[in-house]
Amino acid sequence: MSEMSRRNFLGMVGMVGGAAAAYQMMTTMGLAASSTYTKPDLSGGGQGKTVLILGAGLAGMASAYEMQKAGYDVRVLEFDSKAGGRCWTLRGGDEYTELGGFKQTCDFDRGLYINPGPWRVPHHHHAYMHYAREFGVKLEPFIMENWNAYLHRKADGDKPALKMRLAEARTDMHGHVAELLTKATNQGSLDQTLSAEDKEKLLEALHEWGFLNRDGKYVQSLAVSAARGYERDPGARLEAGTPSKPVDLHTLLDRNLWSSILDGMFYEFRSTMFEPVGGMDALARAFESRVGRFIEYRSRVTEIKMDAEQVTATYVDASGATKTASGDYCICTIPLSILSQVKMTGFDAGLTEAIKKVPYAPSFKAGVQYKRRFWEQDDDIYGGISYTDLPNQLISYPSNNYFSGGKGVVLGAYMFGTDALVMSGMSPEERMKKVVEYNAQMHPAAAEEFDTGISVGWHRVPGALGCYGLYSADTRERYYPTLCARHDRLMLAGEHTSYWNGWQEGALLAATTAVDEMHKFAQGQA
């Protein structure tokens, strides 16, 4: 299910059943669950014991950090030349080459960046918050909801392009639904459900919730404009403001305008959200500064073999030489999209089958540097996200450096599914041309203000081959327990062994629980 269709589906669930129903559906889909972080208890120590960790993303480095503190001899093999995995920030001067040979150089101005992987941190991600506090990683608010951002629909046949503020769509939806419910209530349609007292209170609530007039109608007025915004803002003295005209209910439904006003109601997107100051890789760099001495970079694992005494990884190092590394225990954080191509020897068939059954979501992101911050200067948008039904799906505006006179970088596209595959199949130059074209349909200034940009198609990133593990209800039931279990001397860890899959929290929770379980096994307690 693509990101846009997934959002629409969850929105429909929320409209019918409310936030609780939407949250339950997200849990089923593996998109939400309570963060259950508990600091690992490695009492007893690990002196004299060795742990081989495969992968130096957040899960691998968190595992290494906790186990080396307990006295274990730790060794980490990492495919890339840097640590952090999908926790990645691109800044001016950075280069990377994707599968197929396209090489890009980031030309952003100093201080500007884009986060191709994770780009926001919910306040209830307690494992992330724990390590951020411990390492002194500074966080700033990430503006998820900005009701002044845009909701855009492209021209479709005889339907013209449409652009409105999110606040306008939200207020109009409230108003029209409140008017319909008021009419139904007054006609006695809810008499079997409501007592006379509840009916009276509901009508009062609907009047305020929907900004209805005395006749229970949602119509153009200054009172309505106080919520949805004005055609012309109030001013001094006798300038009361000009009321804006609501969009009719048919248009709201026909153009699917209600779907993008729901994101903020979901638990994973609820305020306050955060981002590290200066780029999402701040936590990865903090981990790396503490465990980097244990990491062997540019080490491509080709086989993992377990026997009664140890786990051994065969790998190709930076020089092309084939080597081996062993440990009494192993925590493997290699993404399943990569691990499925690694030879597994000495493991039961159930594990090797499960590894191959979880696909990874194709995703595409584009960071676009513009010559000026026209979204602020022309449109009064400071942070937040504008949504569109164009293939780029959204524009996310920077949540920092407001009012700066120089250039600015937006997330100009965040695409999933077929759209991501199509876009990633183009050359980097063709991709950016398309992204700017899409951005300009929402912000006309984008065409003339474009400066430079960089893009990442996650299914073409060599060390990941996808954005995150994509579970269905069936694969959660049939294969997920196997992937989460300890297999004698080996455990898997990463966002794919968490109900917070797709989030850094999932990687950290999976790591700390793997560390706990492996330590108990080493101590003879499991």
Q: How far apart are CA 53 and CA 491, in angstroms?
A: 10
Tokens of 422: 């199509």
Query: Under a CB-based contact definition with an 8 Å cutoff, are residues 409 and 488 in contact?
Result: no
Q: Give the distance, in angstroms, between the CA of residue 252 and the centroid of all CA atoms in the same chain.
A: 27
CB 336 within 8 A of CB 360: yes
Gap between the terminal Cα atoms of the chain: 39
Say if CB 175 and CB 246 are below 8 A apart. yes
Written in H, E and C, the secondary structure of 384-400 is: EEEEECCCCCEEEECCC
Q: Judge whether 301 is annotated as a binding position.
A: yes
The count of other CB atoms within 10 Å of the CB of residue 432 is 22
Encoded amino acid at 132, one letter: A
119 labelled as ligand-binding?
A: yes
Identify whether the C-beta of residue 508 lies closer than 8 Å to the C-beta of residue 58: yes
Nearest 10 degrees: Cα torsion 284, 290, 295, 298: 40
Q: Outline where DSSP puts E strands in 115-255.
A: 121-122, 139-142, 150-153, 162-165, 230-232, 242-243
Q: Is 476 annotated as a binding residue?
A: no
In the numeric block, the tokens 């900004």 are attached to 211
The DSSP symbol for 113 reads E
3-state secondary structure of 40: coil
Which helix or strand (DSSP H or E) is residue 51 part of?
Answer: strand 50-54
Helix (H) or strand (E) holding 284: helix 282-291
Residues in the chain: 526
Q: What is the dihedral of CA 189, 191, 192, 198, to 10 degrees?
A: 130
Is residue 276 a known part of a binding site? no
Positive or negative: CA dihedral 503, 506, 511, 512: positive
Q: Which amino acid is at 393?
A: Q
> Is residue 441 classed as helix, strand or coil in its secondary structure?
helix
300 known member of a binding site: no
The annotation status of 147 as a binding-site residue, yes or no, is no
Query: What is the rounded distance in angstroms from the CA atom of residue 385 to the CA atom of residue 398?
Result: 9
Pairing of strands 311-316, 322-327: antiparallel
Residues of the binding site for FAD: 117-120, 301, 495
Residues of the binding site: 117-120, 301, 495
Residues of the binding site for substrate: 120
